[in-house]
Amino acid sequence: MQASGSMICPVETPQLLRHAVWKMWTERVLLALLLVLFAVKGFIPAWSHLDSDFANYYLAAHLYREHYPVERVYEWTWFQRQKDHLGLERPLVGFIPSTLPSVFPILPLSSLPPLQANRCWLVISLGSLFLAVAVLKRVTSLTWRRIGVLTFLAIAPLHTNFLLGQVHVLMLLLLVLAAWLYFRNCPFLSGTVLAAAAAMKIYPAFFLLFFLVRRQWRAAAGLVCGMAGALLLSILLFGENAFRIYFREILPSGLRGEIIDPYATAWDSLNALLRRLFIFEPELNPVPVAHLPTLYALLHPLLHSLILVVFLWGIGFRRASASRQKLEWAIYCFLLLLLSSEPLPYHFIILILTAVLSVDYLMAQRQSSWALAVVVFYTLACLPFDRVYRANPQGWQALLCFPRLFCMVLFAGTLLVILISTAEDSFASRLRFRSLAWAALALIVLTTGGFVLDRRHLAGQFDNYATRVTTSVGSAIAVNPVVTADGIWFGALVPKFTSAQDAYEIHRLHAGVISSYGGNGDWFYPASTIDGSASWAEVASKTGSRIIRFDPSGVPTNSGTLTTEAVDAQQPVVSARGERLAYIREVRGRGSLWIRPIVGQAGTPQSNPDHELAGPQYDVREAAFSPDAELIFSSAQRERYRLYSVDPQSGNVAELTSVTCSARYPAPSPDGQWIAYSCERGGVWQLMVMNRSTAEQRQLTNSDCNSITPAWLPDSRSLIYATDCGRALGITALSKLSVVP
C-alpha cells in the first residue's frame, strides 16, 4: 500500500504544479487585459475631458467657496445658470439628490481650472482604489493577483466612476476601512467611518439595521454618534436652511426613487421596473402594461420587504465567527445595492467589496464551486449594458430592458443559498416557530406600512394628466409659463439628459404646435407682451446673463442677431401694457430687483434707465407685475420665503403679512383681484390663491408633489402651472387648473 502511494505521488505532483502554474498565468494575463481595458476605456478618456458628474461636484464646491447660498444648488435652472457663468463645458448639470457634504472631497480642487481639477481628482480616485485593494489584502487571505482581478472585473462600475468623475471610489474605500475596523474588533470606529460615508451618500446609514440585528451595540453607537456629529457640522457649515431643504424636500424624493426620471430603464432597480410596468405618465412612460398604482403600492414594499427580511433571517441574530463576519458584511453591502431605488453603474463599485470578501470566505471553506458562481454573477452584474437600455419600451418589453437587475437577482439567489448553507447554526434552528414568527411579523409590518405610505404619496398625483397643456414624449422639464393672446410661452428641456447638444430653450405653444427658441447658451424665463407682439428671455453664457428681445414670429438661433435689453440681468417680467421690464440682478447668488422702461426698436434709450427697487438684502427669487404696474416679489428672509409688494414710482416695499406660509412664485391675476403663489406644506409646494380685497386664502392642490410657477389665463379664472406630480423632483410638466368657478 505504501509502495503504491509512493508511485502515485510523483505523477500527481507535477500535474498539481502545472495546474497551479496555469492558474497563475491565467490570472496574470486576465489582470493585464483588465488593466489595459480600464486604461483605454476608463482612465485615459476621463483624463482628456470634463464630464457631467464631476462638473456637478466641482460647481457646487466652487459656489460654496465663493459664499453663494448653497441651498440653491438644488434648483435646476439656477444651478444650470451658474454653470454657464463659470464656463463649464458641459451641456447639463444638476446636483439633486447629492448631499452637500459630498462636495468636501472636491473643495480643495475647486480653485483650479475645471479640467485640471478633474485630472487631480482622477489621480486621487486611482490612489483611493489601490488603497482599498491594499486594505482588502490585509483583511483577506487572497493573493494580490486575485484581488486585482476581482477589482477590475467591475468593468462598468470602474469605467463610469472614472469617466464621470464620481465619488464612489472614495465610498468604496470608506466601506473597506469600516469593514477592516469591524473585523479588527474596533466596532465604534467602524461605525464612525460609516457615518462619514453616509454624510456623502445616504445608503451606509442603513448599516444601523445590520448592527442592531447582529447586536453590535458599540458599532451602532459609533454610527449614530458619527451621524449626529455630521448633521451638526453640516448645519454649522451650510446653514440651517440648507439642512432643512435637503431633509424636507430632497431626501424623501431620493429615497422614493423620484429623481430625474423614475421610469428610466438605466436605473436597474426594482422600483424603476415596477413604475415602468404599472404607472402611466404621458411623457415619461406613455405605454406601461397598465396604469395600476395600487398594485405598484403593494408590490413595491412587498418585494423590498421580502428581500430584506429573508436576507436578515439568513444572517440571524447569533454572534458569528470572524470568518463568517466577512461573508455577512459582504452580503449586506450587496443587499443595500439591490434595494436601492435608483442605482446607476457607478454605484455597483461596492460589489468589489462583496466579491472579494465572499470569495475569500468560500475559498477558506473549500467551497470553490460556490466561489466560482459568485465570480460569474458578479462579473455579469458589472458588465456594460448601455446598448440594451431603451428610452421608451412598451408594455412587457420593459422586462427586457433591465439586464443588470436580473443579474443582481440571480446573484442574490446565489448569495442567499451560500448564506444559509454555510450557516454556523443548524438550518432547523432557523425554522423554529419563534424565528419564523419574527420574520413574518417584520414582513407584515414593513409591507403594510410601505403600502399605506405609498398609497398616501400617490393619492391625487395623476389627476393633472387630464389637464396637461402639452405632451411631448421624453420631455424633461416644462416650467415658468407665460400666457399671451398668441399662445403659451414656457421654459423647456427636451430631450432629457441624453445629448451633448442638450440645452434649456424657450418654447411657444400656438394652435397645438410647439416652436423652439434658443441657441448659443441656455435660454430661461420667457416674457412677452399680452398681445404677443414682442418677447424677451434670459440668455446665460460664460459672459454672464443678459435679457434679450426677439421677434416671436421668427426662430432666432444666433445671439448676434438679437437685441440686448439689459446686461447682468435675469428672469425678465413685463408689465401688463408692455411699458416696463423688471428683472433680477444677482450678487453672489442673492438677487436684487430692478426695473427699466421698455424702449421701442426706433427709440433712444436713456443713459441710465435701470433702477433698483429691492436690494440684495431681500434676496429676491421671483417677481411679477400686477395690472396697476405694482410688483409682487418673493424674498428669502429669515429661513423662509416671504412675499412683498413694491411701488415702482415711490419705491416703497411692504410685506404681504396675510401670507404666513413660506411662499414663492407670486402671480397677480389680470383683473387684479387675486394673487396665486406656491406655499410650502410638509416639504412640498402647493398652489394657493389669495383674494387681495379680503385676504381670504384657498389651497388649490394637495398632492404629495410640487406645483409651482403659476400663470393666469386672461379671464382671471384659470391657471397654467408647472407640476412634478407623477414625475420626479423638479422635472415638471404644464397643467391647467380652474380657480374661480
**C-alpha span between 667 and 719 (Å, rounded):** 10
The radius of gyration of the chain from alpha carbons, rounded to an integer in Å, stands at 29
What is the pLDDT, as a whole number, of residue 554?
A: 64
3-state secondary structure of 487: strand
Residue 498 pLDDT greater than 50, yes or no: no
- pLDDT band at 229; cut points 50, 70, 90: very high
- Could you read off the pLDDT of 522-565 as tens digits, one per residue? 999 999 988 888 899 999 999 999 999 988 876 555 544 678 89
Contact 522, 504 (CB under 8 A): yes
3-state secondary structure of 39: helix
Model's pTM, two decimal places?
Answer: 0.92
Strands 674-681 and 684-691: antiparallel
Residues 6+ apart with CB under 8 A from 708: 479, 664, 665, 678, 685, 721, 722, 723, 732
What is the pLDDT, as a whole number, of residue 375?
A: 97
Residue 24 pLDDT greater than 80, yes or no: yes
- pLDDT band at 23; cut points 50, 70, 90: confident
What is the pLDDT, as a whole number, of residue 500?
A: 53
Region 116-139: mean pLDDT is 96
Beta strands (DSSP E) in 580-657 are 580-587, 590-597, 611-614, 620-625, 631-637, 640-646, 653-655
Region 299-327: mean pLDDT is 90
Cell digits for 71? 441651498
Q: Which of 658, 664, 670, 657 is nearest to 622 (CA)?
A: 664
Q: How far is CA 472 from the centre of its chain?
A: 23
Domain residues of the chain, as ranges? 51-115, 124-456, 468-574
- pLDDT band at 429; cut points 50, 70, 90: low
- Could you read off the pLDDT of 33-50 as tens digits, one per residue? 999 999 999 999 999 888
- Could you read off the pLDDT of 389-410 as tens digits, one per residue? 777 889 999 999 999 999 999 9
Residue 87 pLDDT greater than 60, yes or no: yes
**C-alpha span between 230 and 211 (Å, rounded):** 19
Region 328-339: mean pLDDT is 96
Residue 31 pLDDT greater than 90, yes or no: yes
How much of the chain, in percent, has pLDDT values that exceed 90? 75
- pLDDT band at 14; cut points 50, 70, 90: confident
Region 252-268: mean pLDDT is 91
**C-alpha span between 94 and 73 (Å, rounded):** 8
Residue 381 pLDDT greater than 60, yes or no: yes
Q: How far is CA 252 from the centre of its chain?
A: 11
Contact 646, 613 (CB under 8 A): yes
The chain-wide mean pLDDT, for the chain, equals: 90
Region 365-378: mean pLDDT is 94
Q: How far is CA 456 from the centre of its chain?
A: 22
What is the pLDDT, as a whole number, of residue 497?
A: 44
DSSP character string of 222-255: HHHHHHHHHHHHHHHHH-HHHHHHIIIIIHHHHH
**C-alpha span between 622 and 424 (Å, rounded):** 63
Region 452-474: mean pLDDT is 92
